[in-house]
Protein backbone atom coordinates (compact mmCIF):
# COMPACT_ATOMS: atom_id res chain seq x y z
CA UNK A 1 0.00 0.00 0.00
CA UNK A 2 1.25 3.48 -0.88
CA UNK A 3 1.76 5.78 2.10
CA UNK A 4 -0.85 8.55 2.16
CA UNK A 5 1.58 11.44 1.78
CA UNK A 6 1.93 14.00 -1.03
CA UNK A 7 4.75 13.94 -3.57
CA UNK A 8 5.57 15.22 -7.04
CA UNK A 9 6.15 12.67 -9.79
CA UNK A 10 7.70 13.30 -13.19
CA UNK A 11 8.45 10.89 -16.01
CA UNK A 12 11.84 11.26 -17.73
CA UNK A 13 12.37 13.22 -20.94
CA UNK A 14 12.09 11.71 -24.39
CA UNK A 15 14.39 8.87 -25.50
CA UNK A 16 15.01 7.26 -28.88
CA UNK A 17 12.72 4.36 -27.91
CA UNK A 18 9.91 6.74 -26.88
CA UNK A 19 10.15 8.45 -30.25
CA UNK A 20 10.04 5.10 -32.06
CA UNK A 21 7.14 3.89 -29.89
CA UNK A 22 9.14 0.97 -28.57
CA UNK A 23 9.29 -0.61 -25.11
CA UNK A 24 12.18 0.88 -23.12
CA UNK A 25 12.06 -1.18 -19.93
CA UNK A 26 15.48 -1.70 -18.36
CA UNK A 27 17.32 -0.78 -21.58
CA UNK A 28 19.53 2.12 -20.48
CA UNK A 29 19.03 4.60 -23.33
CA UNK A 30 19.99 8.29 -23.06
CA UNK A 31 17.72 11.27 -23.61
CA UNK A 32 17.36 12.67 -27.10
CA UNK A 33 18.10 16.35 -27.74
CA UNK A 34 14.36 16.95 -27.38
CA UNK A 35 14.35 14.98 -24.13
CA UNK A 36 17.06 17.22 -22.70
CA UNK A 37 15.14 20.31 -23.81
CA UNK A 38 11.99 18.94 -22.13
CA UNK A 39 13.91 18.44 -18.89
CA UNK A 40 15.29 21.98 -19.00
CA UNK A 41 11.78 23.31 -19.61
CA UNK A 42 10.58 21.44 -16.52
CA UNK A 43 13.04 23.48 -14.45
CA UNK A 44 10.68 26.45 -14.78
CA UNK A 45 7.96 24.43 -13.02
CA UNK A 46 10.21 22.87 -10.38
CA UNK A 47 12.18 25.91 -9.18
CA UNK A 48 12.05 25.40 -5.41
CA UNK A 49 14.12 23.64 -2.74
CA UNK A 50 13.18 19.96 -2.49
CA UNK A 51 13.27 17.87 0.68
CA UNK A 52 14.43 14.97 -1.50
CA UNK A 53 14.94 14.27 -5.19
CA UNK A 54 14.77 10.56 -5.97
CA UNK A 55 15.37 8.96 -9.36
CA UNK A 56 15.86 5.52 -10.82
CA UNK A 57 19.36 4.32 -11.65
CA UNK A 58 18.67 4.53 -15.40
CA UNK A 59 20.30 7.47 -17.13
CA UNK A 60 17.14 8.79 -18.74
CA UNK A 61 15.72 9.42 -15.27
CA UNK A 62 18.73 10.79 -13.41
CA UNK A 63 19.79 12.95 -16.37
CA UNK A 64 16.29 14.44 -16.48
CA UNK A 65 16.62 15.31 -12.79
CA UNK A 66 20.05 16.87 -13.35
CA UNK A 67 18.60 19.20 -15.97
CA UNK A 68 15.23 19.85 -14.32
CA UNK A 69 16.47 20.62 -10.80
CA UNK A 70 20.10 21.72 -11.26
CA UNK A 71 22.03 21.98 -8.02
CA UNK A 72 19.83 19.43 -6.22
CA UNK A 73 21.49 16.18 -5.17
CA UNK A 74 19.42 13.25 -6.40
CA UNK A 75 19.27 9.84 -4.73
CA UNK A 76 19.36 7.04 -7.32
CA UNK A 77 17.20 4.11 -6.22
CA UNK A 78 17.15 0.79 -8.06
CA UNK A 79 13.62 0.11 -6.85
CA UNK A 80 12.42 2.97 -9.07
CA UNK A 81 13.89 1.45 -12.24
CA UNK A 82 11.48 0.69 -15.08
CA UNK A 83 10.04 -2.81 -15.36
CA UNK A 84 12.16 -5.51 -16.96
CA UNK A 85 10.21 -6.47 -20.08
CA UNK A 86 12.50 -9.41 -20.91
CA UNK A 87 12.39 -10.42 -24.57
CA UNK A 88 9.96 -7.58 -25.30
CA UNK A 89 12.59 -4.91 -24.61
CA UNK A 90 12.89 -2.53 -27.58
CA UNK A 91 9.93 -4.17 -29.32
CA UNK A 92 7.03 -2.12 -30.70
CA UNK A 93 4.31 -1.07 -28.27
CA UNK A 94 1.86 -3.26 -30.16
CA UNK A 95 3.68 -6.37 -28.88
CA UNK A 96 3.34 -5.37 -25.24
CA UNK A 97 1.49 -7.83 -23.00
CA UNK A 98 -1.18 -6.68 -20.51
CA UNK A 99 0.46 -5.06 -17.48
CA UNK A 100 -0.69 -7.74 -15.04
CA UNK A 101 0.75 -10.52 -17.24
CA UNK A 102 4.41 -11.53 -17.02
CA UNK A 103 6.31 -10.73 -20.24
CA UNK A 104 8.48 -13.58 -21.62
CA UNK A 105 11.76 -13.59 -19.72
CA UNK A 106 10.71 -10.46 -17.83
CA UNK A 107 9.53 -9.23 -14.45
CA UNK A 108 6.12 -10.15 -13.07
CA UNK A 109 3.66 -7.40 -12.18
CA UNK A 110 3.63 -8.58 -8.56
CA UNK A 111 7.42 -8.33 -8.21
CA UNK A 112 7.58 -5.02 -10.08
CA UNK A 113 4.81 -3.49 -7.98
CA UNK A 114 6.37 -4.74 -4.75
CA UNK A 115 9.81 -3.22 -5.38
CA UNK A 116 8.42 0.10 -6.63
CA UNK A 117 6.16 0.48 -3.59
CA UNK A 118 9.03 -0.36 -1.24
CA UNK A 119 11.17 2.32 -2.89
CA UNK A 120 8.43 4.97 -2.93
CA UNK A 121 7.39 4.33 0.66
CA UNK A 122 11.01 4.51 1.76
CA UNK A 123 11.17 8.03 0.32
CA UNK A 124 7.74 9.12 1.55
CA UNK A 125 8.38 7.90 5.08
CA UNK A 126 11.25 10.34 5.62
CA UNK A 127 10.60 13.37 3.39
CA UNK A 128 7.96 16.08 2.99
CA UNK A 129 6.80 16.59 -0.61
CA UNK A 130 9.72 14.86 -2.36
CA UNK A 131 10.26 14.92 -6.13
CA UNK A 132 10.40 11.51 -7.82
CA UNK A 133 11.74 11.31 -11.39
CA UNK A 134 11.19 7.88 -12.88
CA UNK A 135 9.23 6.02 -15.55
CA UNK A 136 5.84 5.40 -17.10
CA UNK A 137 5.71 1.92 -15.57
CA UNK A 138 6.43 3.30 -12.11
CA UNK A 139 3.47 5.63 -12.49
CA UNK A 140 1.31 2.64 -13.46
CA UNK A 141 2.12 1.12 -10.07
CA UNK A 142 1.10 4.41 -8.46
CA UNK A 143 -2.10 4.51 -10.52
CA UNK A 144 -2.97 0.95 -9.51
CA UNK A 145 -2.56 1.90 -5.85
CA UNK A 146 -4.62 5.06 -6.19
CA UNK A 147 -7.40 3.87 -8.50
CA UNK A 148 -7.19 0.08 -8.58
CA UNK A 149 -6.01 -0.27 -12.18
CA UNK A 150 -2.66 0.26 -13.95
CA UNK A 151 -4.28 0.95 -17.32
CA UNK A 152 -4.63 4.45 -18.71
CA UNK A 153 -2.97 7.10 -20.81
CA UNK A 154 0.82 7.20 -20.79
CA UNK A 155 2.24 10.17 -18.91
CA UNK A 156 3.86 12.87 -21.08
CA UNK A 157 7.62 13.24 -20.90
CA UNK A 158 9.08 15.63 -18.32
CA UNK A 159 5.82 17.07 -17.01
CA UNK A 160 5.51 17.15 -13.19
CA UNK A 161 2.37 16.00 -11.38
CA UNK A 162 1.37 16.55 -7.78
CA UNK A 163 -0.03 13.35 -6.26
CA UNK A 164 -1.74 13.88 -2.94
CA UNK A 165 -4.37 12.32 -0.67
CA UNK A 166 -7.42 14.32 0.35
CA UNK A 167 -10.84 14.04 1.96
CA UNK A 168 -12.33 12.71 -1.29
CA UNK A 169 -9.46 10.33 -2.06
CA UNK A 170 -6.27 10.64 -4.06
CA UNK A 171 -5.85 13.36 -6.68
CA UNK A 172 -3.32 13.79 -9.49
CA UNK A 173 -2.74 17.37 -10.66
CA UNK A 174 -0.31 19.21 -12.88
CA UNK A 175 2.32 20.88 -10.73
CA UNK A 176 4.03 24.26 -11.09
CA UNK A 177 5.83 26.27 -8.44
CA UNK A 178 5.35 29.36 -10.57
CA UNK A 179 1.60 28.99 -10.21
CA UNK A 180 2.08 28.26 -6.53
CA UNK A 181 3.98 31.49 -5.98
CA UNK A 182 1.58 33.62 -8.04
CA UNK A 183 -1.45 32.16 -6.30
CA UNK A 184 0.04 32.57 -2.85
CA UNK A 185 0.19 36.31 -3.52
CA UNK A 186 -3.57 36.16 -4.02
CA UNK A 187 -4.02 34.20 -0.81
CA UNK A 188 -4.64 30.68 -2.13
CA UNK A 189 -1.13 29.26 -1.93
CA UNK A 190 -2.00 26.25 -4.09
CA UNK A 191 0.67 24.63 -6.31
CA UNK A 192 -1.97 22.86 -8.42
CA UNK A 193 -2.96 23.91 -11.91
CA UNK A 194 -5.59 21.40 -12.99
CA UNK A 195 -6.83 17.93 -12.18
CA UNK A 196 -5.76 15.23 -14.63
CA UNK A 197 -8.31 12.75 -15.95
CA UNK A 198 -7.02 9.18 -15.90
CA UNK A 199 -9.93 7.73 -17.84
CA UNK A 200 -11.33 8.01 -21.34
CA UNK A 201 -14.54 9.90 -21.97
CA UNK A 202 -16.43 6.60 -21.85
CA UNK A 203 -15.23 6.06 -18.29
CA UNK A 204 -13.03 3.11 -19.26
CA UNK A 205 -9.29 3.34 -18.87
CA UNK A 206 -7.21 2.62 -21.94
CA UNK A 207 -3.68 1.69 -22.88
CA UNK A 208 -1.40 4.00 -24.88
Provide the annotated binding site: 11-18, 60
* DSSP β-ladder status, 131-134 and 7-11: parallel
Burial of 118 (C-beta count, 10 Å sphere; 0-12/13-18/19+): exposed
Choosing from 36, 82, 89, 107, the catalytic residue is 82
How many CB atoms are closer than 10 A to CB 169? Answer: 8
126 tagged catalytic: no
Residue 15 phi, psi (nearest 5): -120, 170
Cβ atoms of 14 and 31 within 8 Å: the answer is: yes
Choosing from 12, 36, 107, 164, the catalytic residue is 12
Angle at 147 between CA 142 and CA 151, to 5 degrees: 75
Q: Which residues are documented as binding site for substrate? A: 11-18, 60
Query: Which residues does the annotation mark as catalytic?
Result: 12, 82
Amino acid sequence: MLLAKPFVFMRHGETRLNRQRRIGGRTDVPLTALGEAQARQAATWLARPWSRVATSTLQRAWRTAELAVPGEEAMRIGGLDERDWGRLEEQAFERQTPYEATPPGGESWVCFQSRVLAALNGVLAHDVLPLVVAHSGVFRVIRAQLFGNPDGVRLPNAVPFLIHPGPQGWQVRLYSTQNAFSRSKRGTGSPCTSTVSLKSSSGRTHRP
